[in-house]
Amino acid sequence: MKNRLVKNFFSSGLQAISIQIFGTIFFYIISLYLSKDDFGIISWGNATSSLIITILSCGLEQVMVRRVALSRTSDWAAVAYLIHAIVGVMVSLLILLIISLAGGNTTYSLQLLPYFFIAQSLSYIANPFKQYLNAKERFTPYGVVAFISNAGRIAVALLFIWTKTFTIYTTIYILIGSAVFELAALSVYTWLKTDLQLNFRFLAYKKLLMEARALYLAVLFDSSLSRFDWFLLGLMAANSITADYTFAYRAFEVARLPIMIIGPIILPKFARLFNSNNDKLAAQKKRQVNKFFSLEIFFAVLMVLCLNIVWGPGIDLITKGKYGYSNSLIFFVLSLCIPLQFTINLLWTLTFSAKRYKSVTIVTFITASINILLDLVLIHFYGGTGAAIAFLSSVCIQTAAYAFVVNKFIMRFSLLPLLILVMAGGIAYFASTYIAAGILARIGIAALLYILLSLLTRQVGRQHLDILKLYLRR
């Protein structure tokens, strides 16, 4: 379709912007207007709830998306995932309530945990509807719902601040309210505007679980890479250290926004590349994937370059000295993971689309285990910086492992563009510090020098842009 590329980018981008940008603004508001103790409790409660939800998911999400994307007769997978989510949430919430009541008044964080879990579990129950629509490449409905929900959270939070009634409890009410809205809107839209029928087949559900079994540990341990450090910091470090790290990490997540935009678009298309029951790609497809990779990394490194120039003075200004220079080292270390995560996203998509679920599980298990061990050691000695170093080390290992799997089982894939572009970015960054003093001047010089080096080393060109359009077109 003529306008399909623009529409997909807009719709998927609307989802990602609504979740990440608005989510970060809300996160920014609570970090400024709540005490660090309350901010730490919220971060810990959300991280713990996220880990519980991941355990409940059993890896069904990705398998459901692949099935629905490949076949019009596989809508039953979305219904199976929905029933699975509802039952799992009910059982888990009952257990959490019992634990919370048994704990009495000893732990304030534990008392509030069921409420954070309710908010996240409602979003989890809405996820089958969201992913069903994404698998059908209908990104706009959830984009609109997420935009309204997240914008509404910010508006209500500002209202509570204006009336001087903004507390940790009103924050919980806002989180639950927005989750209720998303679930109601997505469920109503899906039932009214799609052909999805509430037809649950237990044998088919068992088949889905068996298919997801190999992927489950991968999803579980992958979650530990993104939130286990928050969980441990809440237990092992002071609230101020946890606040510095979580603030920098949320900024890092926003910087990964292009992955969230491109990911839902390319996964169904990569799945169709392997729909011939052949886990090997033709030579032409291999060249296309490699050029697509080079262009992705080019933009990722450019983003890291500009963000690190802006971070210290920029964030220090907008947070009135609360963050910025105080956690600039943490953000720098985390930002180095961005090009690596672009790489991992592409390699994971290739591996998953080729149905190499066991390989995904092994890679993620090894990576997450190393991350947990490094967190336990480095957080104890270096706090938030230690958590960032542990994360970077784990991501490096994960990148190398996925590259090995793809090269051995799927196609020849070179990490050389990653190394060349990261080196070019480093040269541009340090050169700009000696040539200019102002932020805007440094960004301009660094970006210009980086682009020049990328062109001279032939890492980007018109062919790369043509491949990008090809892969994002219907």
User: How much is the pLDDT for 121?
Assistant: 94
Pick from 168, 200, 232: which residue ends a domain? 200
Check: CB of residue 96 under 8 Å from CB of residue 113: yes
Residue 236 lies inside a defined structural domain of this protein: yes
**Residue 7: inside a domain, yes or no?**
no
- 29 and 82, same domain (yes or no): yes
Q: Are residues 325 and 281 in the same domain?
A: yes
- 412-438: average pLDDT: 88
The answer to whether residue 10 sits within a structural domain is no
Are residues 171 and 242 both part of a single domain? no
Place 423 in a pLDDT band, splitting at 50, 70 and 90. Answer: very high
User: In this structure, are 158 and 132 located in the same domain?
Assistant: yes
Does the pLDDT at position 159 exceed 90?
Answer: yes
- Is residue 277 within 8 Å of residue 146, measured between CB atoms? no
Q: Please report the pLDDT score of residue 281 as a whole number.
A: 55
| CA 208/CA 355 separation, integer angstroms | 14
pLDDT at 153: 93
Number of structural domains the chain divides into:
2
Q: What is the pLDDT of residues 369-404, one digit of tens each?
A: 898 899 999 998 888 899 999 999 999 999 999 999
H helix intervals, 58-139? 60-70, 76-103, 108-135
Residue 71 domain-assigned (yes or no): yes
Distance of CA 220 to the CA centre of its chain: 14
Judge whether 27 lies within some domain: yes
pLDDT band at 2 (very low <50, low <70, confident <90, very high): very low
**167, 269: one domain:** no
One domain for residues 181 and 220 = no
Distances (CA, A) of 356 to 115, 263, 399, 462: 37, 18, 16, 32
C-beta atoms surrounding 387 within 10 Å: 31
Q: Is 205 within a domain? A: no
pLDDT at 183: 94
Share of residues in the chain with pLDDT > 70 (%):
82
Write the single-letter amino acid at 265: I
Q: Are 283 and 414 in the same domain?
A: yes
Element (H, E) at 263: helix 257-273
pLDDT of residue 234: 76
Q: Is the pLDDT of residue 187 over 70?
A: yes
User: Which tops the pLDDT comparison, 263 or 75?
Assistant: 75
Of 151, 168, 200, the position where a domain reaches its end is 200
Please give the residue that has the higher pLDDT: either 70 or 383. 383
In whole angstroms, what is the distance from residue 249 CA to residue 255 CA?
A: 10
> Could you tell me the pLDDT band of residue 266, with boundaries at 50, 70 and 90?
low
pLDDT tens string 340-370: 988 888 888 788 777 787 888 788 888 888 9
272 and 175 within one domain: no
Top-confidence residue, 214 or 390: 390
Q: Check pLDDT > 80 for residue 431.
A: yes
Q: How far apart are CA 174 and CA 152, in angstroms?
A: 9
Mean pLDDT, residues 170-181: 95
**363 & 449 share domain:** yes
Full DSSP string of 373-439? HHHHHHHHHHHHHHHHHHHHHHHHHHHHHHHHHHHHHT-----HHHHHHHHHHHHHHHHHHHH--SH
Regarding whether 58 and 124 lie in a shared domain, the answer is yes
Mean of the per-residue pLDDT values for the chain?
81
Per the structure, the complete domain to which residue 288 belongs is given by 215-474
Higher pLDDT, 470 or 364: 364
Lowest mean pLDDT among 77-91, 226-240, 414-428: 226-240
Tens-place pLDDT, residues 20-49: 678 878 988 998 888 877 887 888 888 889
In this structure, the answer to whether residues 173 and 225 fall within a common structural domain is no
Alpha-carbon torsion angle 209, 128, 342, 8, nearest 10:
140
Residue 5 lies in a domain: no
Q: Does the reported pTM lie above 0.85?
A: no
Q: Report if residue 11 sits inside a domain.
A: no
Same domain flag for 282 and 382 = yes
- Stronger pLDDT, 270 or 83, i.e. the higher one: 83
Would you state the pLDDT for residue 74? 72
pLDDT for res 225: 65
Last residue of a domain, one of 172, 200, 228: 200
Closest listed residue to residue 130, CA positions, set 82, 83, 72, 93: 82
How much of the chain, in percent, has pLDDT values that exceed 90? 27
pLDDT exceeds cutoff 80 at 275:
no
